[in-house]
Structure 1
């Protein structure tokens, strides 16, 4: 399936068009009183409802064993219905497990990991919805994932297949998850429309969205994130971490994130840890019109971001009133930052970045520089191939700071 065909298919296939019959979990012994352990009855219902529409209309409690969703499944949650974990001590779980299957439709799912009832110490792998190794279309419409020990939604691989394929997620709401609102590890064709990722906190990276492969053979192929909102995440609103993707196998990255708005996260957008000398990564990452409001530190930050064949374009970014933590550090207070930290041992060149029409609006007197581009180590390795095009509005008295960088300024 070509990319254009994939998007066209997602747009025109009517939800529930292939429904033959509706069934309920109560037919298979589920109680749905918000107290009883319904795990076994729900799994039986899911298994028996293949090819049908399983309608969940109550509050169902589960153990951390969660539910395994087969191919050709359709789960429909009515208003106020949800899946909620019982007290547990699991460092790892998947409440809804969509692994090595295809042709799955999940509508209006609400899952609650009840992190307040988890007595585990450590761990970070408790997932609300886990989509891994899928080989046919998976559509997840209006999901809510809250209070998970790890991520609200996780998209990755299995031992059977090293990536997911053809995943569409619409209007995901994630709140108070411990590690991420959503993690993207390995996928071929992913579209996410209008998500809201709120208040991620607990264990690193603590991002709204984290795009972070686990190994060199993972894929980031045709990822489109449209109009995401991130709010008050303890880490980045959106983080892109590519360290594990480098290696013997060549990788081509294709990511476009459009219309991102962040409010109050530590950093709105953060690029981290790309070493081009460790392997061959090519392709393009694009951020179109991102907006950062009241970030605790930077609006947009590149840390240890190497100069290789991979290109990054940040077009029409706006940073409003960042550095609410009032840091005096040139790096931590910068609205836009491209840097290597003082204690870093890396020596590879950094760059490969285009920033077009940046706008910085802030009355914060802690802002000294509007854009900081610097290797803060004693070696001061040059930062090359950075282009700033069509400089927008900058706060008075906050010039660019780029003592050891080769920056192209274009009108």
Structure 2
């Protein structure tokens, strides 16, 4: 080796080291120029905030790479260096052994930066970006601050080169720090499965696209594009970035997901589009995990479009917030829903707890918009706790469905709530509860609206029944009884010039099941010729507290339909005495009969049933004066109580 002698006060001189030409910069020049040198890393506006931090202000790239210039921590080693040599990355590997005491500034485009020898390290692998191993086995480490750049590791994104190793190296090196992924050069980054470690922030530049290779393993052990397994404290900031697959290449199976979050805690993903997968856009659960659930997961401002199985599958989680996300156009393999909340096993370990969907949309999915399926949960599972608030579904098969709560002592407990949600233009019902027993979870619909549903015009379909809201069964999951559902201030709205909704709210059996414990409070049917309530005659304990009470005009001779529960029944328009037969008395039934036409109304009970009056049990009541009314309430013993009356009915 020969070195040209230089004046130590010179700012820069050329040095030759065994045929490799490098540039030497003295310490004064190095320190004076480090701010400018940092500009070589420019990727634009990196956020200077740690995962747990709250700082939102943007800082320069130099500060993100080297730390605040006012701190000595990042510069302490450089202050003890007499010179810095400017080299290519290959030059660093071949020549740094000759002057190990120097600092080296790598000049390769996208990989610029300062490296120093770590004499204590003899084992680290050369990852191109932050660790470079020389030909003689010395380890030179990049001087870094809080942020690491993907480009340091050689990934450029040309839509052709498979860059799995470069991406994985960058992710591994960023544990405990922030990884910034700049927008690809052309089209997208192409990669195989990537594993995310704990304590990492990954931020993508707006416009970034990452695509999976076409041969992720679709047989167990399955591969995903992004695996977040058995880790904690992961924050992915998409800024609208897209992670995708070549969906036609995944035309079988259902496990090729974009994101798999399993057995992990404190995970935040925001501003990401997860599209065109061979499985789910997002999967949250416990696949191959060391604990049977994930915990404290947030999806915010994300999109899942055109995925094969689901936009989002939720298998087991304790604490999930999904906020302002869209789940659209799922098609390929069942259930084909925007969101499917469905545990995998009946061991009692799966958890659906503290789950909140807020301001989310499910639209254009071949299956349901939002689906909760509980047939694998039992009394051994923790109580279910799921809430959808201000969410909207549109143009799915059904809007929102809660299905298959088991019965008897084995039934899972808990509650699923829909608050201020809307279903619009669904093929069948806007909201449905299928084969869920009265002993199982409580399902509540509060101030929900179904607008212009039943677009396929199938008023007698057994599971939609031309209704906006329906409680019924499906033959795959027979039940001895169904129920435990509340509808509070909900509305069935029909606005079409040719109305297609036949019934606003239906409670219907499809076999021999009983119907119990269903409550309607101040629900309404607006527009069209729809009937407000249809309640199967066999139903028991169906309560209707409606205000204003809907009015139903009956013919002169009519059997009062149990589905008229909560209605005002009148003889308006009749021209003779009316004979109305009461249905079989059931707890929860209540009717008000009002005389409007100047003709008598005679009320007759079913055989073996009577009305309890002040003067004893009676099988018939009659009144003739317009304005007279009587309200009757069903009893469990088959008789009727008088809640109130006007006139001489006895």
Q: So what's the TM-score if we normalise by structure 1?
A: 0.90
TM-superposed deviation, 1:126 = 1.1
Give the secondary structure class of the aligned counterpart of 2:441.
strand
Once the two structures are TM-superposed, the CA of residue 232 in structure 1 deviates from its matched residue by 0.6
Deviation at 1:11, TM superposition (A): 11
Aligned: 1:141 with 2:273: no
Higher strand share: 1
Taking structure 1 as reference, are residues 98 and 89 closer, same or farther at Cα in structure 2, changes over 3 Å only?
closer
- Measured against aligned partners, the alpha-carbon deviations of 1:3-49 in whole angstroms (never above 9, x if no partner) come to xxxxxxx99845799x7422222212223222210001111110011
Asked if 1:352 is matched to 2:484, the reply is yes
User: Following TM superposition, by how much is the alpha carbon of 1:213 offset from its aligned partner in structure 2, in angstroms?
Assistant: 0.8
Q: 1:392 to 1:278 in 2, by over 3 A?
A: same
Are the aligned partners of 1:99 and 1:131 in contact in 2 as well (CA < 8 Å)?
yes
2:153, 2:270 → 1: CA distance? 25
2:571 aligns to what? none
Paired with 1:14 and 1:244, the residues of 2 have a C-alpha distance of: 44
Matches of residues 283-322 of structure 1 in structure 2 within 5 Å?
Answer: 283-322=414-453
| CA distance in 1: counterparts of 2:57 and 2:177, whole angstroms | 10
Output one character per residue of 1:317-348: Cα deviation in whole Å (capped at 9) or x when no partner: 1111111112242443221111123x456233
Residue 545 of structure 2: aligned partner: 410
| Corresponding position: 1:104 with 2:234 | yes
2:26 aligns to what?
A: none
Distance 1:193 1:131 in 2: 17
Aligned residue number for residue 467 of structure 2:
334
User: Within the alignment, does 1:153 sit opposite 2:282 as a pair?
Assistant: yes
- The 5 Å alignment of 1:254-293 reads 254-277=385-408, 279-293=410-424
Q: In 1, distance between residues paired with 2:275 and 2:422?
A: 25
Q: Tell me whether 1:22 sits opposite 2:147 in the alignment.
A: yes
User: How far 1:401 sits from its partner (Å)?
Assistant: 1.6
Between 1 and 2, higher relative CO (CA 8 Å, sep ≥ 6) is seen in 1
- Would the aligned equivalents of 2:482 and 2:514 in 1 still touch at CA under 8 Å? yes
Q: 2:499 aligns with which of 365, 374, 398?
A: 365
Following superposition, the deviation at residue 309 of structure 1 comes to 4.5
Q: Is the 1:179–1:201 contact (alpha carbons within 8 Å) kept by the matching residues of 2?
A: yes
- Residue 389 (structure 1) aligned with residue 389 (structure 2): no
Gaps of 5+ in 2: 1-50, 59-63, 65-144, 547-650
Matches of residues 218-229 of structure 1 in structure 2 within 5 Å? 218-229=350-361
TM-score w.r.t. the length of structure 2 is 0.58
CA distance in 1, matches of 2:56, 2:166: 26
Give 1:5's aligned residue. Answer: none
Secondary structure (helix, strand or coil) at the match of 1:367 reads coil
Size of the aligned set, in residue pairs, is: 394
Q: Which structure's CA Rg is the greater one?
A: 2
Task: Using the TM superposition, name which of 29-38 and 235-244 deviates more.
Answer: 29-38
Counterparts in 2 of 1:68-217, with a 5 A limit?
68-88=195-215, 90-91=217-218, 92-108=222-238, 109-116=241-248, 118=249, 120-135=250-265, 137-157=266-286, 158-216=288-346, 217=349
- CA–CA distance in structure 1, aligned partners of residues 56 and 297 of structure 2: 15
Structure 1 residue 313, shift from structure 2 partner: 0.9
Deviation at 1:253, TM superposition (A): 0.8
C-alpha separation in 2, matches of 1:390 and 1:13: 45
Q: CA RMSD in A?
A: 2.2
- Distance in structure 1 (CA, Å) of the matches to 2:479 and 2:411: 17
Task: Measure, in 1, the Cα distance between the counterparts of 2:526 and 2:481.
Answer: 27
Conserved 8 A contact 2:377-2:411: no
The 8 Å contact of residues 157 and 190 in structure 2, kept in 1 or not, is answered as no
Deviates more, 1:300-309 or 1:174-183: 300-309
Q: Residues 300 and 192 (structure 1 numbering): CA distance in 2 closer, same or farther, change over 3 Å? A: same
Offset at residue 70 of structure 1 (A): 0.2
Deviation for aligned residue 1:269: 0.4
Q: Which runs of 5+ in 1 are unaligned?
A: 1-9
- Alignment partners' CA distance in 2, 1:302 and 1:345: 12
Moved more, 285-294 or 328-337: 328-337
1:58 to 183, 195, 199: 183
Cα distance in 2 for residues equivalent to 1:284 and 1:384: 17
Partner Cα distance (1:12, 1:281) in 2: 39
